Amino acid sequence: MPHRTAIAWFRRDLRLADNPALTHALAHAETIAPVFVDAPAHAPLAAGSASRAWLDRSLHALDGSLTACGSRLTRTDGPAAETLPALAAKLGATLVTCTRDWTPAALAEESAVREALSAVGVELFVAESQLLVTPDAVRTGSGTPYAVFTPYSRSWAAAWQPSSPLPAPARIPDAGPVDGTAQASTHAARQQPRHPRDLDGWWTPGEAGAIAKLAAFSAACVAAYDRDRDLPAIHGTSELSAHLSFGEVSPRQVAWAVAEGSEDAVAWPFLRQLAWREFAYHVLHAHPSSQTAPLKPEYAAFPWRDDEIATTAWLEGRTGFPLVDAGMRQLAETGWMHNRVRLVAASFLVKDVLVPWQTGEAAFRERLVDYDPAANAFNWQWVAGSGADASPFFRIFNPTTQAKRFDPTGEYVRRWIPELESPEYPTPIVDHSEARTRALAARAALSTWA
């Protein structure tokens, strides 16, 4: 083999199966040093306490999987451009492998690492597996990035070539411990996280949990997905978003499992959601500033309000609108919220209350276990009307009619608001009809319509 030792640098690919970076390391080096560099790669949009708590548990699980293969995970602090060359020198490693992370900060990190490793004669190999179709792989007929999802999804479907996932290795020849670093098995923070309140009661972070969740979904839920995915009282969605965000399962594994046993017409409604996730990366790659600023420039002048009282009521699930409050309480308890309810809760904050979408983005970033640097801002901008292919601003969800449509028996709401029928439950903090009129007037004050 051309390399005696390689560093397998784990980033957002915390799995052994279908990990082409790890596969490359095993094929080109005699011994492997699996490493996770704990660095603020996504600052200033660093993950919040919920996803940090998930990360600690996921790294603990990854270390267990590596131990079963005769190896171990070294967890060290960053920045990666300083840490990895130092580790390579200690180990005598001449190869570092990793998976590309397509967020702007992570791409900058990759570039800095490549330059630093090259300066000391170490090769960097970067594999693609975060997305099924990379952001620069599809373009409009005029050669520009897509701004509308439907034509993007057609190009995405044509570009995606289904292929079977790579197997997990049975054995990983260990390069030995690295002095001065922590082993993930003893480093993981097991204390109760600030957000969510009960992560361990609801989730199983790690590759094994991801595979079990995928197996259950592909076996029992795919056929009814298009019918059930908007009903928050049932398990009609895959609930794989956090596992995908941390790379505990690859999108290729998910797509393969869903498409392998289903007809195209049955599989497409779910595959379309994978395309939507990748559209967020496509847009972010073309417009890096959209993580913090409106993609449609006219929205920079939108007359948002600074309403701390209403924002606090929203965060605490005490707006007086049961579907909104149930969702926010589900988020506080589990670190996750059903997608339909996310849309309603987000619409309420930015349109009924006129609080900036960036406030909601920051709140979700802190509290979501499935926080994704591309998808979070992208979806908030979609709701606010300021993003790519966004929902028109005049589409303002009525929380009451949404509840009647998607939670007709009230099962979901009652689960999360036990005091719903008692005097303890608050009255609505706004009149929705009046709030809608106020929101439309604020939008009309801008110079142009989206």
Residue 389 lies in a domain: yes
Domain with 266 in it: what CATH number? 1.25.40.80
Residue 82 near residue 190 (C-beta atoms within 8 A): no
Looking at the DSSP bridge assignments, the partners of residue 3 are 29
pLDDT in tens, 158-194: 999 889 999 999 999 999 888 756 555 444 444 566 7
The answer, yes or no, to whether the previous bond of 356 is cis (omega within 30 of 0) is: no
Residue 385 lies in a domain: yes
Residue 149 lies in a domain: yes
The count of structural domains within the chain is: 3
Helical packing angle, 49-68 and 357-367, nearest 10°:
40
Same-domain check for residues 121 and 135: no
Residue 428 near residue 321 (C-beta atoms within 8 A): yes
Question: Strand, coil or helix: what is 27?
Answer: helix
Q: What's the pLDDT at 184?
A: 54
Same-domain check for residues 269 and 220: yes
Residue 231 near residue 406 (C-beta atoms within 8 A): yes
Domain boundary among 83, 108, 128: 128
Q: What's the pLDDT at 447?
A: 61
Average pLDDT over residues 290-317: 96
E strand or H helix at 357: helix 357-367
Q: What's the pLDDT at 191?
A: 53
Q: What's the pLDDT at 261?
A: 66
Same-domain check for residues 314 and 383: yes
Q: Computed from CA positions of residues 233, 237, 240, 244, in that sequence, does the dihedral angle turn out positive or negative?
A: negative
Domain with 88 in it: what CATH number? 3.40.50.620
Residue 93 near residue 3 (C-beta atoms within 8 A): yes
Residue 27 lies in a domain: yes
Same-domain check for residues 421 and 344: yes
Measured in degrees and rounded to the nearest 5, phi and psi for residue 127 equal -105, 155
Instruction: Provide the domain limits for residue 427.
Output: 292-444
Mean pLDDT of the chain: 93
Instruction: Tell me which residue has tokens 């490793």.
Output: 117
51 pLDDT band, cuts 50/70/90, is: very high
pLDDT in tens, 125-142: 999 999 999 999 999 999
Q: What's the pLDDT at 391?
A: 81
Global pTM exceeds 0.85:
yes
Same-domain check for residues 119 and 211: no
pLDDT in tens, 400-448: 999 999 999 999 999 999 999 999 999 999 999 999 999 999 999 886 5
